[in-house]
Chains A and B, each alone.
Chain A
Amino acid sequence: MGFLDINGVTKAYGAVEVLHHVDISVDEGEFLVLVGPSGCGKSTLLNMIAGLEGITSGDISIKDTVMNGVHPSKRNIAMVFQSYALYPNMTVGQNITFGLEMHGTPKEERERKMREVSQLLQIENLLDRKPGQLSGGQRQRVAMGRALVRDPDVFLFDEPLSNLDAKLRVDMRTEIKKLHQKLGTTIVYVTHDQIEAMTLSTRIAVMNKGYVQQLGTPKEIYDNPANVFVATFMGSPAMNVLPTKLEDRNGALHAVLSGAEGQEVILRIDDAPAAYGAYKGREVLLGIRPEAITDPEGADRNARNIQSLTNIVGVTEPAGADTFVTMHVSKRDCIARMRADADVHPGRPFEFAVNMDKAVLFDPETENRIG
Chain B
Amino acid sequence: MSVATQDTAIRTGRVTRTFIYVFLLVFALFYLLPFLVMVLNSLKPLEEITSGNMIALPQDWTIAPWLSAWSTAQIGVEPTGLRPYFWNSIKMVVPAVAISTVLGALNGYVLTKWRFRFDTILFGLMLFACFIPFQIVLIPMARILGELGIAGTTTGLILVHVVYGLGFSTLYFRNYYAAFPTELVRAAQIDGAGFFQIFWRILLPSSGPIIVVCVIWQFTNIWNDFLFGASFASGGAAPMTVALNNLVNSSTGVAEYNVHFAGAIMAAGPTLLVYIVAGRYFVRGLMAGSVKG
Contacts and interface: CB of A to CB of B under 8 A. Distances in A.
Interface of A: 50-52, 71-73, 77-79, 81-83, 85, 87-89, 98-99, 102-103, 146, 150
Contact of B187 (A51, A81, A89): A81
Contacts of A79: 186-187, 190
B190 A78 contact: yes
Query: Which 8 residue pairs across A and B have the least CB separation, nearest first?
Result: A73-B192, A99-B191, A102-B192, A89-B205, A85-B187, A85-B183, A81-B183, A72-B190
A89 B206 contact: yes
A256 B193 CA distance: 64
Contacts of B188: 87, 98
Contacts of A78: 190
Contact of A52 (B184, B189, B191, B202): B189
Contact of A73 (B183, B189, B205): B189
Contacts of A98: 188, 191, 193, 201
Interface of B: 1, 181, 183-184, 186-193, 197, 201-202, 205-206
A72 B202 CA distance: 17
A102 B191 contact: yes
B181 A85 contact: yes
B186 A85 contact: yes
A73 B191 contact: yes
A284 to B, nearest CB: 46
Contacts of B1: 88
Nearest to A71: B189
Contacts of B186: 50, 52, 72, 79, 81, 85
Nearest to A82: B183
A62 B110 CA distance: 31
A50 B206 contact: no
B176 to A, nearest CB: 14
B190 A73 contact: yes
A89 B188 CA distance: 13
A335 to B, nearest CB: 38
Contact of A99 (B181, B183, B192): B192
B183 A72 contact: no
Given A87-B202, A89-B205, A89-B206, A99 B190 contact: yes
A87 B188 CA distance: 9
A124 to B, nearest CB: 22
Contacts, number: 57
A3 B213 CA distance: 51
A99 B205 CA distance: 17
8 contacts: A73-B191, A79-B187, A79-B190, A81-B186, A85-B186, A88-B1, A98-B193, A99-B192
Q: Which of the listed residues A72, A82, A146 has the most CB atoms from chain B within 10 Å of its own CB?
A: A72
A89 B202 contact: yes
Contacts of B184: 85, 87-88
Contacts of A82: 183
B210 to A, nearest CB: 14
A68 B74 CA distance: 72
Contacts of B193: 73, 98, 102
A342 B260 CA distance: 97
Contacts of A85: 181, 183-184, 186-187
Contacts of B192: 73, 99, 102-103
Given A81-B183, A85-B184, A72 B206 contact: no
Contacts of A77: 190
Contacts of A71: 189
Taking each of B186, B190, B202, which has the highest tally of chain A beta carbons within 10 Å of its own beta carbon? B190
A77 B191 CA distance: 9
A72 B1 CA distance: 28
Nearest to A97: B191
A81 B188 CA distance: 12
Contacts of B191: 73, 98-99, 102, 146, 150
Nearest to B182: A85
Contacts of B187: 79, 81, 85, 87, 146
Contacts of A150: 191
B285 to A, nearest CB: 16
A36 B223 CA distance: 58
Nearest to A158: B183
A371 B193 CA distance: 52
B192 to A, nearest CB: 3
Nearest to B197: A102
A279 to B, nearest CB: 49
B205 to A, nearest CB: 4
Nearest to A73: B192
A185 B276 CA distance: 56
Most chain B CB within a 10 A radius of its CB, from A52, A71, A102: A102
Contacts of A89: 202, 205-206
B78 to A, nearest CB: 50
Given A72-B189, A79-B186, 4 more contacts: A77-B190, A87-B184, A88-B206, A102-B192
A85 B185 CA distance: 8
Contacts of B190: 50-52, 72-73, 77-79, 99
Which of B192, B197, B206 gathers the greatest number of chain A CB atoms within 10 Å? Answer: B192
Contacts of A103: 192
Contacts of B183: 81-83, 85
A162 to B, nearest CB: 13
A17 B57 CA distance: 80
Contacts of A87: 184, 187-188, 201-202
